[in-house]
Amino acid sequence: MFGIALDLEPEGPARKAAAVVRDSCRSVWVIVFPGFELLDLSGPLCALNLATGTNRASYLPLVFSARGGSVASCSGVPIRASEPVPCSHLDTLLIVGGPPDYTLESAAETIALIEDLAPRARRIASICTGAFLLAAAGLLDGRAATTHWRHAVELQRRFPKVRVDADRIFVKDGNIWTSAGITAGIDLTLALIEDDFGIDVSKAVAREMVVYHRRSGGQSQFSAMLELEPPSDRIRDALKFAREHLHEPLSVERMAGAARISARQFARLFLKETGDTPGRAVERLRAEVALPRVQEGTEPIEMIARHVGFGDKERMRRAFVRIYGQPPRGLRRASAAQNS
């Protein structure tokens, strides 16, 4: 499906890279290593090939490793990578993630490869713990970056010159992009596609992949729904109902009806299981849905507030200040500056 060169003859990548320059096709060299995360590779490759399939974008993804040949992923599925060949220019260098122990202790050849290729790339990106490899190559010194939330503290400890932001889906600092873990690689790739060929192409790819048109980089890695984690089916049903009806009034009585218990019993049980009141939980859910739309910068704040159920922009402003520490317009400006 992907149409990528995994079984190329040694001279194959060189010929393809030359064609990239000649035909203005954007080359994307993806670096893998033993134990890499398979979804970090397959998700972005799928997005890149679907973008090319729109006839409005043109990518040439190639997969490389330090030694070439068969490379086993952490799930045991092997792929056949090419050994890098001399190349004067490539468009995007993309480093996938994998076990952080590999990136810290056993990656000398891969780090050397990144150091060699990085000066030739217009743009450099990493997915998940691929940030450890970029940091080890010295490419993140003095830059903002992110990685999987579980490994963010370790990234900061190992590389104190990096400004680690543990709660971002992806971060762009100059020509270097880093993303959170696993599925965030798809968000990152959609953002790269949008950066190259515009929002219409990235939206078309998102529709084909049956994913949201991308979560903005500033969106939290965590979901309010996941953070609440109620143990009982009744409260989970009420939260699911709330998420599906955020644009409507959501009184305690209405949520209690979805939970099939009395309003008084529901309020007590909800607080016990989530540590929050139903009203505050609904506020968080609405803010979570509103945030990427605010950061996208294409809709009026007032319209977003109505669509997600806040009713008016002032109520949404107060909620954003409580939850995110900034009003919607401040977050919109910060997102625009981050992505400029």
218 assigned to some structural domain: no
CA distance 23 to 21: 6
pLDDT of residue 182: 82
Residues in a beta bridge with 121: 90
pLDDT confidence band for 219 (50 / 70 / 90): low
Number of structural domains (the chain) is 2
The mean pLDDT value for 95-109 works out to: 77
pTM (two decimals): 0.66
The mean pLDDT value for 305-325 works out to: 91
Q: In terms of pLDDT, which residue wins out, 289 or 3?
A: 289
Do 42 and 184 share a domain, yes or no? yes
Residue 333's CATH number: 1.10.10.60
pLDDT digits (tens, 9 = 90+) for 65-81: 999 999 999 989 999 99
Contacts for 7-12: CB closer than 8 Å, 24+ residues apart? 7/80, 8/62, 8/82, 10/82, 10/83, 10/85, 11/85, 12/82
Print burial letters for 12-40: b (CB count within 10 Å at least 16), e (below 16): ebbebbeebeeeebbbbbbbbbbbbbbbb
pLDDT confidence band for 25 (50 / 70 / 90): confident
- By percentage, how much of the chain surpasses pLDDT 70? 85
pLDDT confidence band for 222 (50 / 70 / 90): low
Given 155, 177, 209, the domain boundary residue is 209
pLDDT of residue 221: 59
Do 242 and 204 share a domain, yes or no? no
Given 209, 235, 268, the domain boundary residue is 209
Check: CB of residue 323 under 8 Å from CB of residue 287: yes
